[in-house]
Chains A and B, each alone.
Chain A
């Protein structure tokens, strides 16, 4: 008899790495033994109190956890409806939630005796977090990044170089996150003995989606405790932006079985869901197989993968973590979207009213809240994951607003 609660949303994935029909292990044979080895190592680490203790220590003293839960008073006043809290993961070391996952994975890499770290990055937030932990533990690090993204994320590129990482520009395909992931997988296939691939989002072949979720779910565990202290009860709604979906699953997971909590994942609608320039794979895509897992994908009628578009490089991915695909199909999470221009408005609003410059990614979450909050009663409590800070986006925003710097 399984100890797991049959009526829980927290049981996945199954032994095949599936969440319903989503997830799985769709990789070339060369990688298959590696991901089985990784799964085995991760299962052992999870049960080892020493692994958890090391990670707790790094989270506290290196990353700066717990991140605060902050009552966004002026935005709440401005909306005149629901009461808004930010889970401030942008205050973590390196400026986003990405460090949570990287600390976990590098600890695992070290336990497995791997001596070379590779990663893909879109906006550069994950790349910076990987370069940071690689520097901290003295491991060489290669970051694959689309040539298009290198151009629009120069500050992060330089940060990674300062941290000692080598940046490999990817020009194949469309030169964005999906192509960077293809190249990282190709690198891994060619360096199977010594290399650990730190995937940045809750996607890829099993066990990555579950492992990344586990490392990120500290966000929701903290938020729940902090909310009990602040308000003595659960929140009514959770809102987070979704690219691959790691910050969102990190916040949501702890609350999945709390039926009273409504959950919203906000995808990037780019120029609009009804145009061909968006990154909303759940709202505008259909199930397919890419990068080792079955999930919702932007694709054409022949199953060819289509380009995603978003003002935010971090959301610019044609897929989504498989657990989100499943949470969509079960109806537990509501998946909605916000456009580039709505995100820009929210970016400025948050900066002016709260003195917090949000990354463009969580600006999408806030953009949705600007529609949602005013219609809700004053005792409705929302937690939004402020998953990254906007320093990296200042140049891009200036350009969009037509400001010369």
Chain B
């Protein structure tokens, strides 16, 4: 048994939730959408609104595993000048006032590869990042980023999917830490609604292979769904619904206004309430 000092911020957060009998609300938003300042305000407001773990999307031109909403969100952020350096800067700003809520960067490999894996790991740790989810790095490609990141003290969170069978699961879980992200549908983000019973069975299957917390995402949009799905797992990830709420608040030319921050954070509050009522 390791001491708390050796546990990551993510481990501590899930342990605390479990001790309180609570489920985690994991939020996803794209860094720099619709612009750096608005995006930073939203992220700074997330812990108070109820986010237990914050996933920040690193925008990429070709997000193959994402649906239209998150693709468009990535392009808005890039259009507004977001890049890897600025995303790390946002985390650094956030950490100036918030030291408890874990931050997970989620994205695709190429921008990190171009930034340089070693430099990225160092700068991410330095900024206060806790974990990484890199969609297009399966365990078959662990050498370059996953293993050095784990060694440096970052959590490397893996997606498990309905196509990951029992034979493959151990391989997927081998270099996974922090939590396991179960993708509830075969498909891209935000396009289908998962069935809570099927998800429950899948989470149980994962639990046979790992002691890590399991959170469920892809297709969870309403507080009711968040409640139903989180009841089957250790937490729930909401992304597309938040990105859609943000998008709805924008002006025609994709500019944020006074309502943007509130419209996202109020949905986070509703989601949190939904989950708390259920537990």
A residues contacting B by CB (< 8 A) are: 16, 24-34, 172-173, 178-179, 182, 185-186, 189-192, 288-292, 294, 297, 299, 301-305
Give the complex CA separation of A186 and B83 in angstroms: 24
- Sample 29 A-B pairs with CB under 8 A, ordered by A number: A27-B136, A28-B65, A28-B135, A28-B136, A29-B163, A29-B164, A29-B172, A32-B140, A32-B163, A32-B168, A33-B165, A172-B68, A172-B71, A173-B61, A178-B62, A182-B64, A186-B67, A189-B186, A189-B187, A190-B187, A190-B191, A190-B192, A191-B186, A302-B84, A303-B110, A303-B111, A303-B112, A303-B114, A304-B78
Give the complex CA separation of A279 and B62 in angstroms: 17
Proximity bits, B112-128, A CB within 8 Å = 1, else 0: 11110000000000000
Verify if B170 is at the interface (C-beta below 8 Å from A): no
Verify if B183 is at the interface (C-beta below 8 Å from A): yes
Number of interface residues of B (CB under 8 A): 44
A28 touches B159 (CB 8 A): yes
Tell me how far the C-beta of A140 lies from the nearest C-beta in chain B, rounded to whole angstroms.
19
A29 touches B78 (CB 8 A): no
Tell me how far the C-beta of B193 lies from the nearest C-beta in chain A, rounded to whole angstroms.
13
Of A25, A185, A190, which is within 8 A of B141 by CB?
Answer: A25
Which of chain B's residues have a CB closer than 8 A to the CB of A178? 62
A186 touches B188 (CB 8 A): yes
Which of chain B's residues have a CB closer than 8 A to the CB of A290? 62, 110
Give the complex CA separation of A189 and B164 in angstroms: 12
- Considering the complex, which residues of chain B in the window 144-202 have a beta carbon less than 8 Å from any beta carbon of chain A? 158-165, 168, 172, 183, 185-188, 191-192
With A189-B186, A190-B186 known as contacts, the answer to whether A32 contacts B114 (CB < 8 A) is no
Which of chain B's residues have a CB closer than 8 A to the CB of A16? 140
- Considering the complex, which residues of chain B in the window 198-225 have a beta carbon less than 8 Å from any beta carbon of chain A? none
Which of chain A's residues have a CB closer than 8 A to the CB of B162? 30
With A182-B62, A186-B64 known as contacts, the answer to whether A288 contacts B113 (CB < 8 A) is yes
Which of chain B's residues have a CB closer than 8 A to the CB of A33? 163-165, 168
Give the complex CA separation of A106 and B161 in angstroms: 27
Which of chain A's residues have a CB closer than 8 A to the CB of B75? 173
With A26-B137, A28-B135, A186-B64 known as contacts, the answer to whether A305 contacts B110 (CB < 8 A) is yes
Interface pairs A-B: 10 shortest CB-CB: A303-B114, A303-B111, A190-B187, A302-B83, A30-B161, A28-B65, A303-B110, A305-B61, A26-B136, A304-B61
Tell me how far the C-beta of A196 lies from the nearest C-beta in chain B, rounded to whole angstroms.
15
B138 touches A288 (CB 8 A): no
A289 touches B110 (CB 8 A): yes
Verify if B36 is at the interface (C-beta below 8 Å from A): no
Of B60, B84, B161, B192, which is within 8 A of A29 by CB?
Answer: B161
B110 touches A288 (CB 8 A): yes
Taking each of B62, B78, B109, B111, which has the highest tally of chain A beta carbons within 10 Å of its own beta carbon?
B62
Which of chain B's residues have a CB closer than 8 A to the CB of A292? 136
Which of chain B's residues have a CB closer than 8 A to the CB of A32? 138, 140, 163-164, 168
Taking each of B109, B113, B161, B163, which has the highest tally of chain A beta carbons within 10 Å of its own beta carbon?
B163
A28, closest chain B residue (CB): B65
Which of chain A's residues have a CB closer than 8 A to the CB of B164? 29, 32-33
Give the complex CA separation of A25 and B108 in angstroms: 13
With A33-B164, A289-B109 known as contacts, the answer to whether A28 contacts B61 (CB < 8 A) is no
Which of chain A's residues have a CB closer than 8 A to the CB of B84? 302-303
Give the complex CA separation of A82 and B164 in angstroms: 56
B75, closest chain A residue (CB): A173
Tell me how far the C-beta of B252 lies from the nearest C-beta in chain A, rounded to whole angstroms.
18
Give the complex CA separation of A305 and B159 in angstroms: 24
Which of chain A's residues have a CB closer than 8 A to the CB of B191? 190
Give the complex CA separation of A301 and B115 in angstroms: 8
Which of chain A's residues have a CB closer than 8 A to the CB of B108? 289
Which of chain B's residues have a CB closer than 8 A to the CB of A289? 108-110, 113, 136
